[in-house]
Amino acid sequence: MSEQLHPLAPHHLPFYLAPGSGTDVLMAVMGIFLVGTVLWVGTLYWKLHSLPERMAHKSQKLQFEIVAVLGIISLFTHLHIFWVAGLLLAMIDLPDFGTPLRSIAGSVERIADAAPGEAREPDQPSPAPIETSVPKEKERSHV
């Protein structure tokens, strides 16, 4: 029996059309490409999103925790101003006020813990206490 074709069917199909009984190779390739592209774009998004945090961590900034919190807030709220604020905060260098203040506090503690005799210079004599005599009143009797 000879194979009969439909009168309107073409005798040669282009490569991108699936044969009636076979698998669609182009759809399988495009599915793999789509999954790969989504993974690549997701990785790119995470790298871009964590940019301020990585910048602050690499340069040992004091405000690293604030930058990290701003990044998390921007991730969950989708408000980009938090990400921009984190990026700007990661780029600037805040002055370190904590170290000098800790040094001052440590010095004051050492001075306060010193014995009373150690704080004075030895060549200065200590002043003698001034005794004043207060006249006593006569006791009155209650009788």
Biggest alpha carbon–alpha carbon distance for the chain: 154
pTM: predicted TM-score of the whole model, two decimal places: 0.49
Q: Is 39 helix (H, G, I), strand (E, B) or coil?
A: helix
The per-residue pLDDT for range 60-79, each reduced to its tens digit, is 777 888 999 999 999 899 89
Higher pLDDT: 61 or 117? It is 61
Quick check: helix, strand or coil at residue 43? helix
Regarding predicted confidence, which is higher, 132 or 121?
132
Say how far apart CA 13 and CA 31 lie, in whole Å. 22
